[in-house]
Structure 1
Amino acid sequence: MIYELRTYTAEPGRTAEFLKLYEAMALPLQTRYLGGLLGFYVTEIGPLNQIVHLWRFASLADREQRRAALEADPAWHHYRARSKELGVIREQESKILKPTSFSPA
């Protein structure tokens, strides 16, 4: 099992705009293709205006296959274009996490 931790930094004061668009357009697609959503968060303390989500995959190959299927869907390209037009996201970071032998998850 591997985990992908994605962090997006939004323009100050515009996180709600992004979340509204994401929930309406991206979440249904990602749920269909990626599955494994463990959590979706916004930062309250520390670096602000960050949107953080955590996904579970069986392996890097599983992640690659699922993301390729998502990328092949025209609705995903429509969402990405709409998100780019909105101009809310300033930065994106993605980390692949591999649990240790003693990790509970």
Structure 2
Amino acid sequence: MGKIFKGIFILITLFLSPWALSQETKIRGVNYQKYESEKLIWKLVSDTYEQKDDTFIAQNVYLENLPKGLRIYAKEALYLKREEKFILKGKVKLITEKEGEIYTEEL
């Protein structure tokens, strides 16, 4: 009886594993912080986060790098894993301590 359940479990797992790998991930209210040597290096806050295959998309993004004095606001952020590119789109506002504010559509 135990072998039957084990066999059924394996068949169900094999049948559902491609479906599980192809699903999208969506998260709301993301707050990510990266520390090095007990110091805050990067802070990322976004309203929504979505993963589709090798592309990560965040909406209404706020990024901050404290050591470099950078703050960035953007409507949308994309991370293309295969190309290792991070793209900020739509009403991007870059604030630096030394240079001031810069407004652009893509960064």
Normalised TM-score (structure 2): 0.27
Higher strand content, 1 or 2: 2
Greater C-alpha radius of gyration: 2
